[in-house]
Structure 1
Amino acid sequence: MNLTLYWVLALLLAAIYCFISNRVRADVVALLVIVAFVLSGTLSLEEALAGFSDPNIILIGALFVVGQGLVRTGIAYQLGDLLVKLAGNSETRMLIFLMLAVAALGAVMSSTGVVAIFIPVALSVAHRMAIPASRLMMPLGFAGLISGMLTLVATAPNMVINSELMRHHIPGFRFFSFTPFGLLILLAGIGYMLLARRFLPSRRPQSAGQGRHSMRDLVRTYHLTGRARRMAVQPDSPLIGRTLDHLQLRVRYGANVIGVERWRRYRRVMVSVSGISEFQAGDVLLIDMDDHNEVRRFCSEAKLEPMILRGEYFSSRAREVGLAEVALIADSSLLGKSVREAGFRSVYGVSVVGIRRDGQVLAGKLVNEPLRLGDTLLVVGNWSLISQLHTYNHDFLLLALPAEVDEMAPARSQALHALLALGLMILMMVTDPVPNVIAALIACLLMGWFRCVDLESAYRAIHWPTLILIVGMLPFALALQKTGGIDLIVHGLLSLIGDHGPRVMLVGLFVLTAVIGLFISNTATAVLMGPIAIGAAQQMGVSPYPMAMTVALAASAAFMTPVSSPVNTLVLGPGEYTFMDFIRIGVPFTLLVLLICVFAVPWLLPF
């Protein structure tokens, strides 16, 4: 080993430590890696920035936009409603249809987004069937992970491995190369879950409602009716002409202003508020406030007149004000901060009006409550701001959009055009008349031409941290190759298990990939393990395809802990699972996936 290799390995360990500790955002770590490689002279500037010219980066970004088109046209939510109708009152049918639908939709769009869409569907169905929500949440999450094994474009690790093959001048995988293995694992997953569901915790669902949640369900679940109040601003109110930031109503009275009704063209409309919003005479404030003594003092000192707020208020205002749930994820920068410290209204444009933790709604003043992993927050704001929350999925994931959102789908009338663009993209990827990235860009342009997405929503839909993470981690493969690190790791694997044949090597690669994936993202894992798999195949004189395929499948097999994947974190709260629930159910299934890979991959992709 030379000094340069020691430096690269030290940098790799430092990056992995940062990923595990979550002290620095993953995309920031990736950028620091690029800088470190260039300043140390390990890589040239062109080599360190080569990831920005990788076609797969453009492809992944384009697929985010295609998925957004399916959401904006309401297709994703309509699929959820169709699922409810098909399943009827049968838990078995519901589990099968749920996993099939999630896997199918996740094969062409973000699995995290798909799972977020189906969580409220599964919760409400669980309530209707009087079964614990936990019996559907984990199957839902597992199906989301398995969806990444169905097509080339289903998840970033598949495209990373494909890119690594092409970097070694080896023809890449085709669109459906993953499908036989994904289908086998999906069928095994459905059968496994039909048996394993009896070992899931039997905790009853917290929410009510038929079909998808309604806004009334969310109001009732978070006890918002007893706290939300309407107050009219009198002509002599000292609030008139002053901004919300200047008034400091939360500090003085514990009053959280979540909206303002204002006269416009002979009718009252709901206006969103921010720190610079000024109040006017005649405004009706919608306020979250639970202390009755403070309410009386606030009305008296601020010259406000209490008004009636009926239970169906939010539903009747569904075209102007929206409610949604968001769940904090493992690497969120909000963990440990209070709502006030996070500046929710200033940063995200929405107000937090409820926090649910361990299945219980927190009472009291929420603005000073430190946020924890697994917390579910109820936010209120106008639909345009709520629709932007998915772009902050480095901090939280958008969970439940109520049934009223279908009325607000801005491109609902263009649903058929979105399906046409999606079908054309898949057809071009399958028949291969143009490169996959061009097929995806054509689909994006069609989505824009048919007004399924606009430029603003398209750019917001792209998860830039994921792209930066891939770009920043790709130089590791080149640096390890230049310094002999890949050869060192490959020789180590060969010395340990190489004498036992390529099938045992598949076991070693799968286990190593799955273990690394417990601590860092599956994308970063694929970047690190791809060149190792190809190098092992070349050293053993066998085809690289089974080795590369095994690593790609193992990177998506993040079933063992609730923090192995954002999908698992997403179902943790709604299913009310513990860490041990995932270990008890996830570890045996991971072993089952290992067996499928070891026997099926060499059969269809011979050594």
Structure 2
Amino acid sequence: MDINVLIVFGIILLTVTFFVWGKIRSDIVALSSLVLLVLTGILSPEEGLSGFSNSVVVMIVSLFIVGGGIFQTGLAKMISTKILALAGGNQFKLFILVMLVTGGIGGFVSNTGTVALMLPIVMSLASEANTDSRRFLMPMAFASSLGLLTLISTPPNLIINDALVSGGFEGLSFFSFLPVGLITLTLGILLLWPLSKLLVAGRDKEKSTVKKNKSLNQLASEYQLADNLYRVLIEKNSPFINKSLQELNIAQTYNVSILEIRRIHSRNRFHKTVDMKMAGPSSTFKENDILYVFGNFNDVTSLVSGNGLKLIDTHKTEGTGSTLSVSQSGGLEFSEIGIAEVVLMSTSKLINKHVKESNFRQLYNVNILGIQRKDGYILQDVKDERMLSGDVLLVQGKWSDIEKLNQETSEWVVVGQPMENALKIPRDHKAPVAAVIMVLMIVAMVFNIVPTVIATMIAALLMIILGCFRNVESAYKSINWESTFLFAGMFPLAIAMEKTGASGLIADAIVNGLSQFGPVSVLAGIYLATSILTMFISNTATAVLFAPIALQSAVTIGVSPYPFLFAVTVAASMCFASPFATPPNALVMSAGRYKFIDYIRVGLPLQLIVGIIMIFVLPLLFPL
């Protein structure tokens, strides 16, 4: 055997060993294997780095951004919540809908992101249905992988398409996977409903005792924002028109605070209808502006009286007439402007100063809405209150300004992580934009209007340019860089296997051992080997290794490579017997209080039955 082949097999063995060991991140292992291939002379530096320029890597990055936009705008949550609401309190209906919705969303966006999105929704619905969420969470994780409906469902799909194109065969269409995905998802529903009984058998219903951080709505409730926040409309001929907040001296005169100014610009559903700004000293008022006023009712009434202002209903949002969403509380909308708690240190220069003397608003561009002192809350006449060491201030302002408060570490401590809270808040008004971008991307792929990789890049750019993300940084945060570098690092290993003939040797071993029993037996061998390896290493890495082997095996025995490569992607994706085989499996482990044996009891039978059926179905869908 050639020395280069032995080196490649040695690097593969070393790589798989570290993957299984799991103490080093998978992307670091993959990049290390790349470096070894170049240092040993197996690959040139250009070949070693070719994974980073591969179209599949660009597609994966673009699709992470597209998926992130769909999640960030709340589009996915809107769709899933409405569909799941159809189940009512019926457990079987709920199970079917959880599987269909998860599989459906997972067919178009990251299955990890899909499970992260569905997890709190399903737990809430299970609680409302008075049933144990354990019966739904593991099947939901499996459904995200079973929904193998499109070319972009999972990285292994893109990998086998790339292998076909590189081998001179016709690439797959966007919906080539649809019949496979429909079969696997149907099998999952039929098998997991009875199997899921094993997850709740003999267990008493447990109550979650996990202590949670305060949510924005909890903060708003604690400080009674809803009870002290009023909306005031500036009517025609009001003396406030064209005057600034500083000129009017509202805080001193009326003992209230103007927190936000909202100005309606357009009612076009695809653009933000309301310009929302935090009120500052230089803020100028216009006719029909809506002011968010914080203070007690009597003081707000005094402000309204005789100033051409009108107190309006606080339970509707501007421009739409819809009720307040989950990203709002007491009428405040938290997508652009948020709230947070700040604990004063004993070394702070604010100690013993009155709020109105602190210039907090002028210096940091945030408002102090209330003070928590020991077990009590100071919510009225806050500006006249003297601040003490240990006081907790409720501040309100732009998320970026609240984040800046973290820089004054000797003065105070900001409780929680403001920018993380901001990123969790859906940009609901951009949901229609995200929906249109997603549909156009799919249409472009289905009708091959532009190359697939270009379609995904355009969609990703539109998601950023049209405001589906708060900023470019949050778009980059939606990318799973570990998965991206894992593939880019593993791709050269596939090149090395082909270049040295290692993939041909493995293919010959499978063919020589099984070809006497027919092509289906060879396909079964490839499926089984892929399925076993995926239990120990990433499905992406497994697909990269086995795609050239499957292609070579089919060419050697003179049959179509399509069912063989589909066997690789299905086997790589349908791994349910281990919680660590895929990120979705791991995501639900702690939430469902599952043990490793639960995955064996429920996931292994599913994996075996799906595997056996697919070995016979794939040659029928894609004739040999």
- Using the size of structure 1 for normalisation, the TM-score is 0.71
Q: CA deviation at 1:317?
A: 8.2
Question: What's the counterpart of residue 38 of structure 1?
Answer: 38
Q: 1:3 to 1:69 in 2, by over 3 A?
A: same
Task: Give the CA deviation at 1:458.
Answer: 2.0
Q: Does 1:526 align with 2:543?
A: yes
CA offsets, 1:338-363, max 9 Å, x none?
xxxxxxx99xxxxxx9xxxxxxxxxx
Instruction: Find the aligned partners of 1:56 and 1:230 in 2 and give their Cα distance.
Output: 44
The answer to whether the Cα contact below 8 Å between 2:88 and 2:129 also exists between their aligned partners in 1 is: no
Corresponding residue of 1:111: 111
Q: Secondary structure at the match of 1:543?
A: coil
- 3-state SS of 1:198 partner: helix
Residue equivalent to 1:380: 416
Distance 1:489 1:128, change over 3 A: same
- Change in Cα spacing, 1:5 to 1:241, as seen in structure 2 (3 Å) is farther
Q: 2:389 aligns with which of 304, 322, 326?
A: 304
* Residue 434 (structure 1) aligns with: 450
User: Hey, what does 1:140 align to over in structure 2?
Assistant: 140
Query: Is 2:565 the counterpart of 1:566?
Result: no
Distance in 2 between residues matched to 1:428 and 1:231, nearest whole Å: 49
Q: How does 1:307-456 map to 2 (within 5 A)?
A: 380-382=416-418, 384-386=419-421, 408-409=425-426, 411-453=427-469, 454-456=471-473
Identity within the alignment, %: 35
Alpha-carbon spacing, 1:218–1:513, altered in 2? closer, same or farther (3 Å): farther
Distance 1:482 1:118, change over 3 A: same
Tell me what 1:73 maps to. 73
Matched, 1:503 2:504: no
CA gap of 1:605–1:203, structure 2 versus 1, over 3 A, is farther
Mapping of residues 94-493 of structure 1, within 5 Å: 94-147=94-147, 149-201=148-200, 202=203, 204=205, 206-207=207-208, 215=215, 233=344, 237-240=346-349, 263-264=360-361, 304=389, 380-382=416-418, 384-386=419-421, 408-409=425-426, 411-453=427-469, 454-493=471-510
Q: How many angstroms apart in 2 are the aligned matches of 1:560 and 1:218?
A: 39
Structure 1 match to 2:565: 548
CA distance in 1, matches of 2:534, 2:343: 55
CA distance in 1, matches of 2:398, 2:204: 34
CA separation of 1:428 and 1:239: change in aligned 2, threshold 3 A: same
Query: What is residue 284 of structure 2 aligned with on the other side?
Result: none
Kept after mapping to 2: 8 A contact 1:489/1:532 = yes
Kept in 1, the 8 Å contact 2:399–2:422? The answer is no
1:289-334 CA-partner distances (Å, limit 9, x unpaired): xxxxxxxxxxxxx973567x9xxx9xx989979xxxxxxxxxxxxx
Gaps of 5+ in 1: 220-228, 243-260, 272-281, 289-301, 322-344, 347-352, 354-378, 389-404
- Measure, in 1, the Cα distance between the counterparts of 2:359 and 2:570: 55
Do the aligned partners of residues 446 and 133 (structure 1) sit closer, same or farther apart at CA in structure 2, a change above 3 Å counting? same
The structural deviation recorded for 1:495 is 2.4
Structure 1 556/305 Cα, relative in aligned 2: closer, same or farther at 3 Å?
A: closer
Asked if 1:538 is matched to 2:555, the reply is yes
The alpha-carbon deviation at position 42 of structure 1 amounts to 0.7
Paired residue type of 1:8: V
Letter in 1 for 2:347: P
CA-to-aligned-CA distance 1:269-292 (integer Å, 9 cap, x gap): 589xxxxxxxxxx9968999xxxx
Report the number of matched residues.
472
State which drifts further: 546-555 or 191-200. Answer: 191-200
AA in 1 matched with 2:361: R
Partners of 1:129 and 1:318 in 2: how far apart? 39
C-alpha contact (below 8 Å) 1:533/1:544 kept by paired residues: yes
2:7 equivalent in structure 1: 7
Q: Could you tell me how far apart the structure 1 residues matched to 2:451 and 2:535 are? A: 33
1:268–1:126 CA distance, 2 compared to 1 (3 A): farther
1:35 deviates by 1.7
The Cα RMSD (Å) is: 3.5
Whether the 8 Å contact between 1:208 and 1:217 is mirrored in structure 2 is: no
CA separation of 1:264 and 1:10: change in aligned 2, threshold 3 A: same
2:215 and 2:119 map into 1 onto residues whose CA distance is: 15
1:219-241 per-position Cα deviation (integer Å, ceiling 9, x unaligned) = 9xxxxxxxxx989748xx33549
1:601 alignment partner in structure 2: 618
**Alpha-carbon distance in 1 for matches of 2:363, 2:86:** 45
Q: Deviation digits for residues 498-551 of structure 1, max 9, x if unmatched? A: 211111122211111111001110000000010110111011110000000011
TM-score by length of 2: 0.69
1:207–1:217 Cα contact (<8 Å) kept: no
- What are the Cα deviations for residues 37-59 of structure 1, in whole angstroms up to 9, with x where unaligned? 11211111221111122111111
Deviation, 1:120, is 0.6
Match 1:589 to one of 592, 606, 609: 606
Residues in 2 aligned to 1:266 and 1:100: alpha-carbon distance in whole angstroms:
52
Conserved? CA contact 1:127–1:205, under 8 Å: no
Question: Residues 230 and 180 (structure 1 numbering): CA distance in 2 closer, same or farther, change over 3 Å?
Answer: closer
2:416 alignment partner, SS class:
strand
Distance, in Å, in 2 between the alignment partners of 1:317 and 1:88 is 38
Counterpart-to-counterpart distance in 2, 1:530 and 1:287:
63
Deviates more, 1:536-545 or 1:187-196: 187-196
Q: Compared with structure 1, are the counterparts of its residues 12 and 285 closer, same or farther at alpha carbon in structure 2 (3 Å cutoff)? A: farther
On the 8 A contact 1:131/1:205 being kept in 2, the answer is: no
1:207/1:532 Cα in 2 relative to 1: closer, same or farther (>3 Å)?
same
CA 1:14/1:100 → structure 2, altered by over 3 Å: closer, same or farther? same
Deviates more, 1:190-199 or 1:560-569: 190-199
Q: Which residue of 1 aligns with 2:56?
A: 56
Q: 3-state SS of the aligned residue for 2:540?
A: helix
- Taking a change above 3 Å as real, the CA distance of residues 75 and 239 of structure 1, as seen in their structure-2 partners, is same
Residues 581 and 265 from structure 1, CA distance in 2 versus in 1: closer, same or farther, beyond 3 angstroms?
same
Is there any run of 5+ residues in structure 2 with no aligned partner, and where? 220-339, 352-357, 376-386, 401-405, 408-413
**What's the CA shift for 1:155?**
0.7
Contact 1:142 1:559 in 2 (8 A): yes
Q: Distance in 2 between matches of 1:606 and 1:387?
A: 51
Q: In 2 relative to 1, CA 13–240 (structure 1 residues): closer, same or farther, beyond 3 Å?
A: farther
Note closer, same or farther for the CA distance 1:319–1:240 as it changes in structure 2 (3 Å cut): closer
Which structure: larger Rg?
2
| Shift of residue 80, structure 1, vs aligned partner | 3.2
Aligned equivalent of 2:301: none
1:304 counterpart SS class: coil
Please report how far the alpha carbon of residue 73 of structure 1 lies from its aligned counterpart in structure 2 after TM superposition: 1.1
Give the letter aligned to residue 381 of structure 1. Q
